[in-house]
Structure 1
Amino acid sequence: MIRHVRIDNRLVHGQVVVTWLQAERANTIMVANDGIAADEFQKTMLLAVKPPSVHEVILSVDEALAYLKDPAHANEQVFMLVKEPSDALRLHRGGLGVKTMNVGNMAFAAGSKRVTRTVFVTARDVAAFKDLHDEGVELTARMMPTDRRNDFMQLLAEAKVL
């Protein structure tokens, strides 16, 4: 069962390990990103920061969808991390079946525009967010589980990037 989907280009880090896993009662961290799944060094680094009591899998987007459909993993409480909105859109279109996704951190990149203190988006990101929203996924923005849920599409509109 998917407990939470978070778009955060930092992926597994202290904030996720210390606060989000506990708040969402997750016992599995899943990173779904084709590039990370193919990079042994990055996988090793991400696996090094997880708590020993938590299972972690790092998979391509297609592998993540297959993993979640496998009955052998039906009892796992999954906290899913994706690096970018295009990953989230592919998961959604692949049948992920979640109603809400959280936008955490998206670092500045060339050509990106600031939406919040910690979120910068490119035109490609905005297109993916718009598609997710148009296809019925609620997008929220909050850094910590105790923070108020902000409507991410409203934040995009206020930042004049829609």
Structure 2
Amino acid sequence: MISSEPHGQAAPESDDLLAWILAWSELVAFAALLTGFVIASWFQPEAFAAGKARLHHDMALANTVILLVSGWFAALAPRSGSIGRQRLALLAAAAGGILFVAVKLYEYRAEGTSLLAADVFSQLYVLITGFHLAHVLFGALVLGLMARFPSPENIHLMTTLWHVIDIVWLVMFPVIYLL
């Protein structure tokens, strides 16, 4: 099957199953964590309200914008006409991921010892956001590595996973910071 990829390249259909398995496993893992967070918030509404009040919503909003822009660059990578443009898009997406990590680490630092509290909110907050942070860091490093050694199949697979990481954050942000 010929796709709209540049230079008449065939769509990387052979990696679609792996991409879907990885994407759905990520979504299921984060859905379980966020469901646990919501259920725990029903049992301890005061503790969760106090925990959410001490969070830095402005940094979380900035990270939302950063990931959306990074995702936009990731979406450009497989559609770029040349290897140079693919590399540039991948590096920009990776840079967005690294910037997300830096802002999140700064947010953790700003929250200070409250992150080490023994309450359920703090424990779940660190578990969920830390798990996501690890995914962003790993994904950004892989995107950067792929900029050095691009292949259509790998770009397809990793940019799909990068979008899943973005989707997870877009669900996490309101659940953890706003609701």
Q: Common fold, TM-score beyond 0.5?
A: no
Q: Which has a greater percent of helix?
A: 2
Q: Which has the higher contact order (CA 8 A, sep 6+)?
A: 2
**TM-score, normalised by the number of residues in structure 1:** 0.22
Q: Which has a greater percent of strand?
A: 1
**TM-score, normalised by the number of residues in structure 2:** 0.21
Structure having the higher Rg: 2
